[in-house]
Amino acid sequence: MSGTGGRRVLFLIEALTTGGAQRQLYNLAVQLGGLGHQVSLVAYHLVDYNHRDHFRGQFERAGVPVTEVPVMAPWRRLGALRRIVRAAEPDVVIAFLRRPGLLAELTGLPARRFALIVSERTGKEGGRNVRDLTRFQFHRLADAVVANSVHLEEYVRGAAPWLGPRLRQITNSVDLEHFRPADSPPPPHGTLRVLAVGRFRPEKNFLALAAALRLLRTTDPALDVTVDWYGNNFFRGQTPSRRSRPYLELLDVLRRSGLEEVFRVHPPVTDVVPLYQRADVLCLPSRYESLPNVVCEALACGLPVLASAVSDNHRLVREGENGFLFDPREPHGVAGAVRRFAKLSAEERAAMGRAGRRLAEELLAPETAAGRWAELVEEVVTARRAARRAAGHATRRAAR
């Protein structure tokens, strides 16, 4: 879907695996391509995990050229990216996620011709740390830094005030035509079907959800609840990797607790819309987030949400209106949110779903995000070209 005019926009990301950043990059690539920009993508791989090309087919069907950099040593990777980026002669490079942002900043040294936008898209626990402050220092090499949540923008602005003039906040967007409620509701049933979507990483806090389910079996034995969690377990083929340890720990907890039949784990799927449309409620128990893509998609599909009270979740989940919030550190809090939702009538749940859809239409329209990104692209490209012209004039004056 890349256009024939406009700016040459090159995206950089760490593989096209499952994840909210990859989904948002796809949305943005399609939107900018639709506005006439020439869009392409470079993806590099750190490890040969399963599902590393989860989104590749979608980019190809949208007409976005994809260049892959295979697994290689870090110093070779930087050289390969430098050659690919310079050969593409982009007007602007947009890097999603932390490591791609750093690589893009280093790729531009010692003097880059393209404009550069990096992003801050990952939430965090605790206060400032050396790693964050070091990364923010490298952001001096970028023309703009985009945070995808108010909470993250405030954190970056407070920790790195020198980035103030180049810091922006642009919210995630959702394809409201694709992510939409089912044409007809699912038939009545007695089980509360809880859906969870996210990588099997510790910050996703799946052990707290398992503990909550175990509590409910004791306190509310008549409550019939099932959890279906879809996510990447970081296997290589059939073999677990070092990053698979949290997933294996979850399996062990489920086995020892007798929860294997009611807390089911699944690999990621290409199209999650049917999952949202069949579930009763989404649960996101993460310890930290930025602006969770899965919550945005669920709301667009008219699915109520139970979410941890972190980051910008309170902007998406309005207590009692389209879902409930809870303290992710307390399994009792997670269980309480599930219990509260289970007590709602079918009409009350449906009203929550409708409220969520209205909020998605209000806050997450793709046209709004695309317009702000397009304005930023034009701003940084124009400023970069003006700076280069000024530098050229200065050099010529000095040579006289």
At residue 69, the pLDDT reads 93
DSSP per residue over 278-336, as a string? H-SEEEE--S--SS-HHHHHHHHTT--EEEES-TTHHHHS-BTTTEEEE-TT-HHHHHH
At residue 124, the pLDDT reads 81
- What average pLDDT does the segment 349-359 reach? 98
At residue 298, the pLDDT reads 98
- What average pLDDT does the segment 275-293 reach? 96
- In degrees, to the nearest 5, what angle opens at C-alpha 7 toward C-alphas 384 and 376? 60
Look at residue 396 and tell me whether its pLDDT is greater than 80: no
Radius of gyration of the chain (CA): 22
Look at residue 285 and tell me whether its pLDDT is greater than 80: yes
At residue 189, the pLDDT reads 83
Lowest mean pLDDT among 73-82, 295-304, 348-357: 73-82
- What does residue 79 show for φ and ψ, rounded to 5 degrees? -65, -40
What's the whole-number average pLDDT of the chain?
Answer: 94
Task: Give the torsion through C-alpha atoms of 196, 59, 274, 179, to 10 deg.
Answer: 90
Domain 192-363 has CATH 3.40.50.2000: yes
Please state, in angstroms and rounded to a whole number, the distance separating the CA atoms of residues 205 and 308: 10
The string of pLDDT tens digits covering residues 63-80 is 999 999 999 998 899 999
Look at residue 400 and tell me whether its pLDDT is greater than 80: no
Please state, in angstroms and rounded to a whole number, the distance separating the CA atoms of residues 250 and 215: 16
| For the chain, the helix, strand and coil percentages under 3-state DSSP, each to the nearest 5 | 45, 15, 35
Tokens 């930087």 belong to residue: 78
Please state, in angstroms and rounded to a whole number, the distance separating the CA atoms of residues 69 and 82: 11
Look at residue 392 and tell me whether its pLDDT is greater than 80: no
Look at residue 3 and tell me whether its pLDDT is greater than 60: no
- What does residue 349 show for φ and ψ, rounded to 5 degrees? -65, -40
Q: How far apart are the first and last CA of the chain?
A: 48
Please state, in angstroms and rounded to a whole number, the distance separating the CA atoms of residues 256 and 251: 9
Sequence ranges of the domains in the chain? 8-173+366-399, 192-363
Which pLDDT band, with edges at 50, 70 and 90, does 1 fall under? very low
Look at residue 18 and tell me whether its pLDDT is greater than 80: yes
Q: Record the tokens describing residue 86, joined without a space.
A: 């310079």
Please state, in angstroms and rounded to a whole number, the distance separating the CA atoms of residues 60 and 6: 20
Helix or strand run (H / E) with residue 75: helix 74-88
Cα dihedral sign, 199-138-152-33: negative
DSSP state of 162: G
At residue 127, the pLDDT reads 80
Lowest mean pLDDT among 132-136, 295-299, 339-343, 384-388: 384-388
In contact, 120 and 148? CB cutoff 8 Å? yes
At residue 4, the pLDDT reads 47
Domains 8-173+366-399 and 192-363 share a fold: yes
Write the CATH number of the domain with boundaries 8-173+366-399: 3.40.50.2000
The string of pLDDT tens digits covering residues 222-233 is 999 999 999 999
What's the 3-state SS for 38-57?
Answer: EEEEEEECCCCCCCCCCCHH
Which pLDDT band, with edges at 50, 70 and 90, does 163 fall under? very high
- What average pLDDT does the segment 342-362 reach? 97
Structure-model confidence comparison of residues 276 and 190, the more confident one: 276
In contact, 92 and 114? CB cutoff 8 Å? yes
DSSP state of 183: S
Percentage of the chain surpassing pLDDT 70? 97
Look at residue 89 and tell me whether its pLDDT is greater than 90: yes
The string of pLDDT tens digits covering residues 238-255 is 999 999 999 999 999 999
Lowest mean pLDDT among 82-86, 128-132, 376-380: 128-132
- What average pLDDT does the segment 104-123 reach? 93
